Amino acid sequence: MFGIAYRVLGSTAEAEDIVQDAWMRWQATDRSVVDNPSTRLATTTTRMCINFAQSAQSRRETYLGSWLSEPVDTSTDPMLGAERAEALKLAVLILLEKLPPTERAAYVLREAFDYSYRQIAEILQIEEANARQIITRARKHVTEERRIPVSADEQRRLLETFIAAAQKGDLAALEGLFAEEVVSFSDGGGIVRSAARVPVIGRERVAKFVAAFASHFWTGITLTWVETNGQASVLLLRQGAPSALATIDASAQGIDRIMWMLRPSKLAAVSTVKQTIR
């Protein structure tokens, strides 16, 4: 239930609220007339998420800066209860945010949890042919906007190399790591001054942006490896408290997306007990 809600909403707090409400509804249900409890719970959760996402969409449109899904610690459950982990990656969640809530939910049920088209149609109260159509449309959106990702080991290696170059402000090294149309997203919620208000796009522009704050951003920072959303990330600690989280999405062309989570309230779900880099 939480895995579905989180992927559709991108917020642990909102997902937890939905799960709690769905569970309370289940407690009040006459279970003698329910053939499949897990399907009933998934149906209730999904429909509640769609309704909530429709109301949340307008709030996110007025959000100051880039809105990123809240990172979740997946060190103990890399797929967050799903059959497949890909729909959990932050880069994929960015793309799913652009989809209508019903389309997003259908994609999550199919790609993350392997629900059949018939089951998805029943959950969403649509025809099976319509379910196939919207899932095909969602897949096309994701595949057209995202290149084939590198392996987990290569993603971690590129992230470590990127962090080292970013700390030095090494323009040439940074440009050498980036794909031509790399995008840097910064979520500071309008309260963190170092967060860019709009995505920074392009190899040279992103390299200059990252290098520009090298002299002060990293001062007094301890770096710690964490696993968020099924992939390697780096948590930045200042005086032992989480200050930011950085992760990347990469392909054979280089680093395609850099995601900086700078809003303190969105770092609460990330554990700090991991391998320290320095």
Can you name the residues that pair with 249 across neighbouring β-strands?
257
How high is the pLDDT of residue 276? 52
How high is the pLDDT of residue 245? 98
Long-range CB pairs of 132-140 (<8 Å, 24+ gap) are 134/102, 134/103, 134/106, 135/103, 135/106, 135/107, 135/110, 137/103, 138/96, 138/99, 138/103, 138/104, 138/106, 138/107, 139/107, 139/111
User: Residue 4, Cα to own-chain centre: how many angstroms?
Assistant: 13
Residue-averaged pLDDT of the chain: 93
Is residue 223 left, alpha or beta, with left meaning phi > 0 and alpha meaning psi from -120 to 50?
Answer: beta
For residue 54, the tally of other CB atoms under 10 A from its CB is 12
Give the tens place of pLDDT for each residue, 204-245: 999 999 999 998 999 999 999 999 999 999 999 999 899 999
Spatial distance between the Cα atoms of 11 and 266, rounded to a whole number of angstroms: 8
Q: How many residues does the chain have?
A: 278
Give the tens place of pLDDT for each residue, 45-74: 999 999 999 988 777 777 888 999 999 999
Spatial distance between the Cα atoms of 58 and 41, rounded to a whole number of angstroms: 27
Residue 278 has pLDDT above 60, yes or no: no
Residues 6+ positions from 197 with CB-CB distance below 8 Å: 64, 65
Report helix, strand or coil for 220.
coil
Of 10, 104, 21, give the one whose Cα is nearest residue 59. 10
Spatial distance between the Cα atoms of 212 and 222, rounded to a whole number of angstroms: 20
Question: How sure is the predictor about 201, in pLDDT bands with cuts at 50, 70 and 90?
Answer: very high
| Domains present along the chain, CATH in parentheses | 2-62+90-145 (1.20.140.160), 152-266 (3.10.450.50)
Spatial distance between the Cα atoms of 195 and 183, rounded to a whole number of angstroms: 14
Give the tens place of pLDDT for each residue, 74-110: 988 877 877 778 899 999 999 999 999 999 999 999 9
Is pTM beyond 0.85? Reply is yes
